Amino acid sequence: MIDLLIVRANLFRISDTQKRAKIKDEMLDLNNIENGAFAVKDGIIVDIGKTDELFKKYKDSAKEILDAKGKAVLPGFIDPHTHALFMGTREKEFRMRLEGKSYMDILNAGGGILNSVRKVRQASVEELAAQLKKRVDIFFSLGTTSFEAKSGYGLDFENEIKMLKAIKMVNDTTKAEVIPTFIGAHAIPQEYKSNKEKYIDIIINEMIPYVAQNKLAKFIDVFCEKGVYTKEETKRILTAGLENGLKAKIHSDEIEAIGCSEIAGEIPMISSDHLLKITDRGLEALKKGGTIATLLPGTAFSLKENYAPARKIIDFGIPTAVATDCNPGSSFTESMPSIITLSVMQMNMMPEEAVVSATINAAYTVDIADRAGSLDVGRQADFVILKEDSYLFIPYHYGVNPIQSTYKKGVKVAHSADC
pLDDT of residue 419: 44
Instruction: Give the 3-state DSSP-derived string for 196-235, with helices as H, strands as E and coil as C.
Output: HHHHHHHHHHHHHHHHHHCCCCCEEEEEECCCCECHHHHH
Task: Let me know: does 248 contact 208? Beta carbons within 8 Å.
Answer: no
Asked if residue 194 and residue 151 are part of one domain, the reply reads yes
- Domain match, 139 and 206 both: yes
Q: Is the pLDDT of residue 106 over 90?
A: no
Mean pLDDT of 323-346: 97
- Asked whether residue 370 is assigned to any structural domain, the reply reads no
Q: What is the pLDDT of residue 267?
A: 97
The DSSP 8-state label assigned to residue 306 in this structure reads P
In contact, 344 and 354? CB cutoff 8 Å = yes
Residues 325 and 387 in one domain: no
User: What size, in residues, is the chain?
Assistant: 419
Q: Which domain holds residue 231?
A: 78-365
Do residues 310 and 350 both lie within one domain? yes
The reply to whether 255 and 294 lie within a common domain is yes
Q: What digits encode the pLDDT tens for the residues 195-227? A: 999 999 999 999 999 999 999 999 999 999 999
| Bridge partners of residue 179, in order along the sequence | 148
Report the CATH number at residue 66: 2.30.40.10
The answer as to whether 113 is a domain residue is yes
What is the domain-level CATH number for residue 285? 3.20.20.140
Cα–Cα dist 126/162, whole Å: 9
Residues 167 and 45 in one domain: no
Helical residues (DSSP H) of 218-279, grouped into ranges: 231-243
On whether both 56 and 150 belong to a single domain, the answer is no
Are both 301 and 402 inside the same structural domain? no
128 and 238 assigned to the same domain: yes
pLDDT band at 104 (very low <50, low <70, confident <90, very high): confident
pLDDT in tens, 275-297: 999 999 999 999 999 999 999 99
With 0.95 as the threshold, say if the pTM is over it.
yes
Do 329 and 153 meet the contact criterion of CB atoms below 8 Å apart?
no
Closest-CA residue to 49 (of 104, 8, 102, 78) = 8
pLDDT, mean of residues 177-195:
96
CA distance 5 to 7: 6
- Within this chain, do residues 40 and 140 fall inside the same structural domain, yes or no? no
Q: Please state the domain count of the chain.
A: 2
348-360: per-residue pLDDT in tens? 999 999 999 999 9
Q: With respect to residue 275, please indicate whether it lies within any of the assigned structural domains.
A: yes
Residues 197 and 64 in one domain: no
Asked if residue 267 is part of any domain, the answer here is yes
Q: How far apart are the C-alpha atoms of 191 and 340, rounded to whole Å?
A: 39
Do 354 and 394 belong together in one domain?
no
Counts for the chain of helices (H) and strands (E), in that order: 16, 16
**What is the Cβ-side half-sphere exposure of residue 273, based on CA atoms within 13 angstroms?**
27
Where does residue 158 rank: exposed (0-12), middle (13-18), buried (19+ CB within 10 A)? exposed
